[in-house]
């Protein structure tokens, strides 16, 4: 006589087992890996942000220095009015320079007492 089989006889039971506490352990192992992954990119991102901020600050300082250098070389009789366009074009020109040139300009600005005196005493008439 043929055996009769119904799925209800077995339901969802399976012959497979797992060690005690296996699922909690697996969750903790995976979470450790995940935490390690999320920690690394954050540190890299922070370091990258700081680098970008420092470079931007240097670029702006050098652009301002370049502006005053250019301004100081013009004859006094010609009134010099700094417009927003002047700053923008100087900044653009500075940004187009190589890093070495930018560093050189910054060094010149920082070390040249004459330029520093000019920028400190210059009036904005």
Partner 1 sequence: MPTNDKDIIRAMREDAEKGFRLLMKSYKEPLYWHIRRLVVSHDDAQDAAQETFIRIFRSFGQYSEANSLRAWLFRIATNEALRLLGRQKNVTMLSLDDVTADMLSAKADAYYDDDDAIVARLQKAIQRLPAKQQLAFNLRYYDELSYEEIAEVTGASAASMKMNYHLAKEKIIEYMQKKD
Q: Which residues bind partner 1 (CB under 8 A)?
A: 2-5, 7, 9-10, 12-19, 22-23, 26-27, 29-31, 33-35, 37-38
- Could you give the 3-state DSSP secondary structure of residue 22? helix
Quote the tokens at residue 11.
């339901």
Q: Please, which residue, 38 or 120, has the CB nearer to partner 1?
A: 38
The DSSP code sequence of 32-72 is HHHHHHHHHHHHHHHHHHHHHHHHHHHHHHHHHHHHHHHHH
Quote the tokens at residue 54.
């420092």
**Shortest gap between Cβ of 30 and partner 1 (angstroms)?**
5
Q: Please, which residue, 39 or 100, has the CB nearer to partner 1?
A: 39
Q: Please, which residue, 14 or 81, has the CB nearer to partner 1?
A: 14
**Shortest gap between Cβ of 43 and partner 1 (angstroms)?**
15
């Amino acid at each position: 006589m043929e055996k009769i089989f119904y799925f209800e006889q077995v339901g969802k039971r399976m012959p497979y087992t797992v060690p005690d506490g296996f699922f909690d352990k697996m969750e903790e192992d995976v979470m450790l890996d995940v935490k390690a992954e999320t920690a690394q990119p954050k540190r890299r991102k922070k370091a990258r942000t700081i680098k970008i901020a420092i470079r931007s600050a240097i670029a702006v300082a050098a652009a301002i220095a370049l502006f005053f250098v250019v301004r100081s070389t013009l004859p006094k009789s010609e009134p010099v009015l700094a417009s927003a366009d002047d700053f923008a074009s100087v900044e653009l020109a500075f940004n187009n320079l190589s890093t070495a040139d930018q560093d050189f300009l910054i060094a010149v600005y920082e070390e040249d007492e004459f330029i520093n005196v000019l920028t400190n005493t210059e009036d904005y008439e």
